[in-house]
Amino acid sequence: MIGVGVIGAGKIGLEHLAAFAAASGARLVAVSDTSVAAARAAAEEFGILSVDSDPEALIAQPEVEAVVVAVPNRFHEPLALSALRAGKHLLLEKPMALDLAGARAIYSAAVGSGKVVMLGHQWRRVWWMEAMRERVAAGQLGDIYHAKCRWMRRKGIPGWGTWFTRKDESGGGPLVDIAVHLLDLAFELLGNPRPQFVTGATFAAFGPKQKGVGAWGEPDWRGYCDVEDLATALIRCEGGQLVSLDVSWAAHTDGNAVVLEILGDDAGLVYRGGELKLLTERDGELVDQVIEAPAAAADEKDPGRAAMTAEFLHCIEAGQTPLASAESGLNNMRLLDAIYRSAQCGREVPVE
């Protein structure tokens, strides 16, 4: 039984706690939060004996073998580095860090630690991603040349005025919050090509006006919003592959569905709002094959998280590298960094 300590008893922290409580091979040892009341409530719910407001005290506990970091983005780097220096395995919520420099520091520490480091990309294990991965691996798409990522929320700015909408605490808006998931999936399905150049743009048409506020998190109207609410990008990869991205927290659009298209010269895979299709042409006729979700997928309250948690524990036991590794987290941060730099200077930029 692997002793697990969770730093953060907010919404995401509670989801991690529930996942580890239900997982075989894990034992919840400790929980920490700056709100002692929140930590105590979580401890009572999940039968945890150790409660602390100091995350360093949690990390220092010998019984804690694996640390989950589920706190605001600006704390990812210091807590991840502290956990790795203490010899703990690490499950780190996305994005990897507040900025690229922080991600590089975590990656360097991870490489030298010999510990399992996983990013909290639970979508790597949702049913439709598993189905897409299988078909790409089987060569059904042929040569893949383009990926299209889109997630346009109409009214979904989270926690207006809190750390979510403050760049010095979050690192950005929908790019770091939700686009990072789609980029993470697209690059895996493309075979992780090396990104070379990025053209990006960001817009803040809603947040500064206190418009487009969603239901996630309690707003703080005394706060402020200085992050983007919409971003778009075109990423050119070595070998000629292209990745396009459109993402928003708020926009006058009719969509709120997650869209991921992977296009090859033999077939394409299109996921849109819960439906996955394999599209191709045979004997001059268009063929659309709907790929059905497994029955168990309908019962998942937090799709992919249980499987991600199981993968994390398995990788610790087997000494393996997870799909959403420290390297993938660093690569995602390189893309986000390039998009923001391009948006700032108004031209195409190289990926660091």
In terms of Cβ atoms closer than 10 Å to its own Cβ (0-12, 13-18, 19+), residue 295 is exposed
Active-site entry in 11, 88, 94, 115? 94
148 in catalytic set: no
Residue 242 is encoded by which pair of tokens? 């292209």
Q: Which residues are identified as catalytic? A: 94
